């Protein structure tokens, strides 16, 4: 006759409980904190805003900080510092995005100013009139 699930021997019961206790923290460690997810999204937004071109130092710092925050989240001793690191990463990435957007806006402004100056010169000299 086969033994049922209810008739585990004491040793097997202890092994099953130990496995459950050791597997639970590993499963929780894989879940990213909201701060870490926010930092990852901030880095992605900075990349999409061409921060590689306009704010490479800030973006590199944010990427390095993101790696550190991810490692801290996995390390049991450093897990408490991970949210703080992630918040700093998000701030760096947001600053990189803002500087990139500012550089793009300034370039567009200069282009428009040059176009206006050219049009004013054309109108002032009478060129382009029939």
Q: Where are the beta strands (DSSP E) in the chain?
A: none
Mean pLDDT value across the chain:
84
Segments in 30-129 forming alpha helices (H) = 34-48, 51-54, 56-74, 82-125
Is the full-model pTM beyond 0.85?
Answer: no
DSSP 13: H
What six digits make up the tokens of 9?
């021997």
User: Measuring CA to CA, which residue among 51, 32, 30 is closest to residue 93?
Assistant: 51
Inform me whether the pLDDT recorded for 95 exceeds 80.
yes
pLDDT digits (tens, 9 = 90+) for 30-77: 557 999 999 999 999 999 999 999 999 999 999 999 999 999 999 999
Do 73 and 79 contact (CB within 8 A), yes or no? yes
Mean pLDDT (whole number) for 89-107: 98
d(CA 128, CA 130): 7
d(CA 81, CA 112): 47
Do 72 and 78 contact (CB within 8 A), yes or no? yes
């Amino acid at each position: 006759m086969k033994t049922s699930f209810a008739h585990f021997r004491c040793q097997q019961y202890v092994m099953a409980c130990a496995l459950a206790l050791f597997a639970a923290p590993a499963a929780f460690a894989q879940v990213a904190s909201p701060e870490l997810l926010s930092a990852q999204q901030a880095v992605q937004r900075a990349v999409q805003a061409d921060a590689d071109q306009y704010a490479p130092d800030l973006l590199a710092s944010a990427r390095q900080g993101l790696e550190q925050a991810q490692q801290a989240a996995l390390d049991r001793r450093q897990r408490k510092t991970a949210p703080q690191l992630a918040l700093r990463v998000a701030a760096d990435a947001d600053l990189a995005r803002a500087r990139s957007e500012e550089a793009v806006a300034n370039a567009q402004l200069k282009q428009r100013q040059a176009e206006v100056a050219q049009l004013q010169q054309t109108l002032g000299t009478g060129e382009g009139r029939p």
